[in-house]
Amino acid sequence: MAEIFKTSTTYSSIMILLAFFLSLNWKFVISYQKDSKCPPKVGGCSSLECAFELFDASFFNNTKMLEIAEGARELNIPIMRANRELVAYEDGGLHYPSVLVFNPEWDTNNNDTKNLPKPIFAKRFKYPSSPTIQRPPDDEDIAFMTQATEADNLLAKGVYLGPLHGIPYGLKDIISVPQYKTTWGSTTFKNQILNIEAWVYKKLRSAGAVLVAKLVTGSLAYDDIWFGGRTRNPWNIEEFTTGSSAGPAASTSAGMVPFSIGSETAGSISYPAARCGVTALRPTFGTVGRTGVMSISESLDKLGPFCRSASDCAIILDTIRGKDPNDMSSKDIPFEDPFLVDITKLRVGYLDDADMEVVRVLAMKGVEMVPFELNYTVDSVQGILNFTMDVDMLAHFDQWQRSGYDDEYEAQDQWPTELGRARLIPAVDYVQAQRARGKLIREVEQSFRNVDAFIGNASDWEKVCVGNLVGLPLIVVPTGFKPISNFTSTYDVRRTAITTGVYAPPRKDHIVLALAMAYQSVTNHHKQRPPIDDLGTQST
C-alpha cells in the first residue's frame, strides 16, 4: 500500500489529466510510436501531448507521457473515484468539510490567546442605551427603525433576550433553515429543503431575532442572476445589485427588513452593499460559523450583516460571532468593544481613492489621518483567488458538473465557464497558489506596520481580491448619493450611492466598526431612504 501512495504522489500534480485519457482510444495511445511527434486526434479528442500542454507539462517526452498516463490510469483514477464516492456524492459542501483550515492571523508567534481567561471570549459589547421609543405616525418610518417597539409574548412573561428581541430579519438563501426551501438561487436546487439548522440562524433565534424571509441569492452564490430573474437596486431600479448577496442588500436598503445576513467569498457583501447604499460588514475570516451554509471555498467564505448603520452591524456581529463546533475555521476571537474604542489613539491611512469627506470627518474627531499605500509585489492576486475559489467550488459541486446540471445554469459565462477551467488546474499549481497567497499575506502585513486601519474604495476589484485572500475585515459605509448621469427623465428621484470602505488587519473588526460609527455620528447618509414608492419616471 505504501508503494501505491508513493507512486500516486509522484503523479498527483496531473491526477485530473485522466479525464482526458478515459475518452481516448487507449490501445491506440499505448501502441503509438514512442518517439513520434504529437499523435493525431483520436475520436475527436485531443492527443496525449496536447492534453499535457493544457497542464503546462509538455516538458515530458512522449515516452514519459505514456508511462505517466498508464500509471495514473492504474493508480490515480481508483483513488479519485473512491474519494469521490465517499465525500462528493452530495453537492453544496455541507458534508465532510476539508481539514485544511485557513488561518488569517499575522502574528503566528503570539500565543497570548491561549493564556487568556475563558470569560474574555464570551464578553459581550456594551451597547449604548436608547431613548424611549414611541410608535412613529408614518408606517414607513416603522420599516426604518433600529429597535422594536413591541416584543413577543416572552416580554409579557418578563423574559428579555437582548436588543434583537422581536426584531425581524432575513437570511441569504444559501443559509439553511429546516422546513423551508434553501434554493441556493439555482434551477437545479429550487425545490430543495435541507433538514439542517444553520449555526448563524440558531444564534440569532436564541437572541430573540425573528426570521421573516429567505432572501434571494445569485445562483450558487455567483452575482445577482438567479432562477427567478435578477435582483434590482432600490435606489435605481434600472440597474441591478451586483454580487450574490443581492437579496440581503436590496431588502435592507428598501426597508423590507431592518437587517439581514449575507456572505462573501469574493465581493458578495462589498459589491451589493456599495450599489444599494447600505452599511455592511465583512468580518475577519472565521468570526462567524458556517455550519448549514452552502460552501464555495472553505478558506474564503464569510458571513456578515447588512444593516442601516455601523452600530447595528456591531450589535449583529456581537450576536453571531463565536466558535461553531462544526466549523473548524471558526474561532472565539476576543474583539475589543467597538463602542469603547478611543479613536483619537488610532492612526489611519487613506488611499488615493478614499472618500475625502470621511478623511476630513475622522480627522475632525481626533483621528490621525495619513496618506497610505497598500504595497505588495504579488501581481496575480486575481489569479490566486480564482484558482482557490474555483477549485474549492468544483470540489463542492463535482457531482453537479458530472451530471450535466451546469448546462441549465442561469448564466453560462459564470460558474459553468469557471468550473470547466478548474478541471484543468493541477494539484501542484493549486498548492503553489496557496504559497503565493501566503507571500501576499506577509507583504500586506508589512503595509499595516504603521497604521491601524485604512480608508479606500470598497468595490475596487483588486482590493476585493486582496482583502478576501488576506482575511481583512471591511465595513462598507454610505457617504452620499448623486444623480444618475444617464437618466433620461427630467424628473429624477433616483440616485447612485457613493460609498467607501474601512479596512483593518484580521481580528481588528472593532476598529473598522468604531471608525464607521464615528463617521456616522455626525453624518446622515446612512439614514437616507430610496424612493420605494416612486419609479422616478414622471416628467415635470
User: Closest Cα partner for 199 from 301, 337, 334?
Assistant: 301
How, if at all, do strands 232-233 and 236-240 pair? antiparallel
**CB crowding 435-454: b at 16 or more within 10 Å, else e:** ebbeebbebbbebbeebbbb
Full-model pTM = 0.82
Q: Confirm if 474 and 282 have CB atoms less than 8 A apart.
A: yes
C-alpha pair distances (Å), 150 with each of 143, 160, 231, 347 = 13, 12, 31, 42
**Which regions of the chain are under pLDDT 50?**
1-36, 42-46, 111-121, 148-150, 490, 538-540
Strand partners, 456: 501
User: Closest Cα partner for 215 from 179, 259, 280?
Assistant: 259
List residues with catalytic annotation.
172, 244, 268
Rounded to an integer, what distance in angstroms lies between the CA atom of residue 95 and that of residue 397?
Answer: 12
H or E, element range at 11: helix 2-11
Strand partners, 392: none
Q: What is the pLDDT of residue 17?
A: 46
Q: What is the pLDDT of residue 536?
A: 56
Q: What is the pLDDT of residue 35?
A: 44
C-alpha cell at 339: 463602542
Rounded to an integer, what distance in angstroms lies between the CA atom of residue 140 and that of residue 363?
Answer: 35
Q: Confirm if 194 and 292 have CB atoms less than 8 A apart.
A: yes
Q: What is the pLDDT of residue 465?
A: 96
Q: What DSSP string describes 207-240?
A: TT-EEEEEE---GGGSTTEETTEEPEETTEEEEE
Read off the pLDDT of residues 194-248 as tens digits, 9 standing for 90 and up: 999 999 999 999 999 999 999 999 999 999 999 999 999 999 988 999 999 999 9
Q: What is the pLDDT of residue 109?
A: 57
Tell the residue number behind the cell numbers 417597539, with chain if given.
149
